[in-house]
Structure 1
Amino acid sequence: MKIINFKGVEIPAIGMGTWHMGSDKATYDEQKATIQYGINHGATAIDTAEQYGEGDSERIIGDAIKGFPREKLFLISKFYPFHAERKQMEKALDNSLKRLGTDYLDLYLYHWPGGTPLNEVVANMQALQDTGKIKHWGVSNFDISDMLELLSVPNGLNVMANEDLYNIGSRGIDYDLLPWQREHDIPLIAYAPVDQADTRGGAIIQNDTLTEIASRHNATEYQIMLAWVIRDGHTLAIPQTNSQKHMQENIDAANIELTNDDLMLLDQAFPKPTSKKPLDII
């Protein structure tokens, strides 16, 4: 597994997303086994949120990680914007920790911008970091204007990462946000890195260039999409899957080295934007 430096912390370039996991009894055991398979094969960064199934995603992760050394995992969760005030945030964090069966998070994210003044949100996250209940804090669904505001408030520079939708078919942040984050050494967590594979992502893989490059690397189109997302060495991709087979394919994608020719062809097939685009959100 390719390892990236995440603000001084080494984590795998491809981890696990867990949206829509844990709520269906019919698939629970398979999903739990898939999470455990991923951990055993190097996908030790796991992303969740209190919103996902109203805690179901955190619960299945907590069930799945029992018996694994906690220090080997990088657990990420997120809180609702309406839990951004101090007491609500700590209560939300405590509930997440309880569901996950751990006494700390590696990274706690403000799920999307809300009504609480950003300087207060940062102060509250910083206070939780000082307690040791979270190792780091960050943000999610922040665009360039949000990030500029973030860095203007006290302790805003302590942000570890920003999590946004990013894939080869959704490149809006390539116009301004992603170059800015690279300039300021703020890593990206890319959610939906193969888009929604069963809907929009399924249309993307019909592209002839993507198919040609996949064939060249003896890989699937989805693996090329993942390899493209993590190409800069500063991005954590968190694809979601309920299948151990697909989990292994995701993990193997981290070892694909796209050539300059590959990247040029993909840029031609999926051009980066030439003007500002609204932030994509699923």
Structure 2
Amino acid sequence: MRARSFGATGISVPVIGQGTWRMDETGRAASIAALRAGIDAGMTHIDTAEMYDDAESIVAEAIAGLREEVFLVSKVVPGNATRRGVVRACEASLRRLKTDRLDSYLLHWPGHHPLEETIAGFEDLRRDGKILSWGLSNFDVEDLDAALRIAGPYRIACNQVIYHLGERAIEHAVLPWCARNGVALVGYSPFGSGEFPDPSSAGGRVLAGIAEAHDTTPYGVALAFLTRLDNTFTIPKTVRASRALENAAAADIRLNAAEIALIDAHFPRGPRPRTLPML
């Protein structure tokens, strides 16, 4: 599994990991089997959150006996993001995940509590060994600048944002900001949450042609495109073990310049939006 440094942590993390949003809505046994298949295939970056209902307990069962192999990430909702609230929320996630630490802990999106409090809570957790790093999610450049002013350089491990072929807004400013400041860019919903290109469309046919050249699927091509840059990661979710193996195999796909240009032409990033898209 191809891996790269996860922002300021210096830890080598697979470019393709595993998301768990809405995983609790499907069969528990199948979800656990898919996560384990992904881990076995090298997708050891597991992302979850306190607001994902039962997903943390599913993850706990999936990583039982494998904790040392996993880069485990969870997220706190903004409503809990006071200094003390961050600590309480993290401790609750640790109990559900049946672990003593998180490799990274993220603020799920900007909220109304002062960011100074949230970051102080993160630093309390880091000092106590309950998290090894912290990061952000759904933060646009203005919010990232604010976090950087508070925390100082090389404290923000990552920024997790929506990123798929049909939604490339982060390439305008957020992705370059992260690259300049040593922050990992983690793209969620890489298949567009049910909006993956139709096979009969022009873009779908382009993906199919590239997929055939690399002995993969259009989904594999999408993952390869989204992780083509040095500080990018992605966390597709699946509840099928077979799809987990397909996702993992995409880490070894290296698109050439002509293929990247062709994808770029059929899935342009478009104009920069006024606000950062998010789910």
TM-score when normalising by structure 2: 0.94
% identity of equivalent residues? 37
Return the offset for 1:204: 7.7
Instruction: Tell me what 1:72 maps to.
Output: 69
Instruction: Tell me what 1:18 maps to.
Output: 20
Q: Is 1:130 aligned to 2:132, yes or no? A: no
Equivalences for residues 1-282 of structure 1 within 5 A: 1-7=1-7, 8-24=10-26, 27-53=27-53, 56-68=54-66, 70-155=67-152, 157-196=154-193, 199-203=194-198, 206=201, 207=203, 208-282=205-279
- Measure the CA separation in 1 of the matches of 2:62 and 2:188: 21
RMSD: 1.5
Secondary structure, in 3 states, of the residue corresponding to 2:131? coil
Gaps of 5+ in 2: none
CA-to-aligned-CA distance 1:39-80 (integer Å, 9 cap, x gap): 111111100000002xx0000110111122x22110000011
- Measure the CA separation in 2 of the matches of 1:154 and 1:175: 24
Return the offset for 1:252: 0.5
- Measure the CA separation in 2 of the matches of 1:204 and 1:90: 46
Report the AA paired with residue 80 of structure 1.
V
Secondary structure, in 3 states, of the residue corresponding to 1:254? helix
Return the offset for 1:180: 1.5
Q: Which moved more, 1:140-149 or 1:104-113?
A: 140-149
Q: Which moved more, 1:83-92 or 1:135-144?
A: 83-92
Count of residues in correspondence between the two structures = 275
- Measure the CA separation in 2 of the matches of 1:86 and 1:180: 26
- 8 Å contact 2:86–2:118 — kept in the other structure? no
Return the offset for 1:210: 1.9
Report the AA paired with residue 200 of structure 1.
E
Secondary structure, in 3 states, of the residue corresponding to 2:252? coil
- Measure the CA separation in 2 of the matches of 1:280 and 1:168: 13
Return the offset for 1:189: 0.8
Return the offset for 1:104: 0.2
Secondary structure, in 3 states, of the residue corresponding to 1:16? coil
- Measure the CA separation in 2 of the matches of 1:111 and 1:90: 15
- Measure the CA separation in 1 of the matches of 2:147 and 2:168: 22
- Measure the CA separation in 2 of the matches of 1:233 and 1:154: 24
CA-to-aligned-CA distance 1:25-50 (integer Å, 9 cap, x gap): xx111111111111111111100000
- 8 Å contact 2:82–2:121 — kept in the other structure? yes
Report the AA paired with residue 55 of structure 2.
S
Change (3 A) 1:226 1:204: farther
- Measure the CA separation in 2 of the matches of 1:233 and 1:215: 25
- Measure the CA separation in 1 of the matches of 2:185 and 2:18: 15
Report the AA paired with residue 201 of structure 1.
F
Change (3 A) 1:23 1:98: farther
Secondary structure, in 3 states, of the residue corresponding to 1:272? coil
Secondary structure, in 3 states, of the residue corresponding to 2:263? helix
Report the AA paired with residue 13 of structure 2.
I
Return the offset for 1:130: 0.7
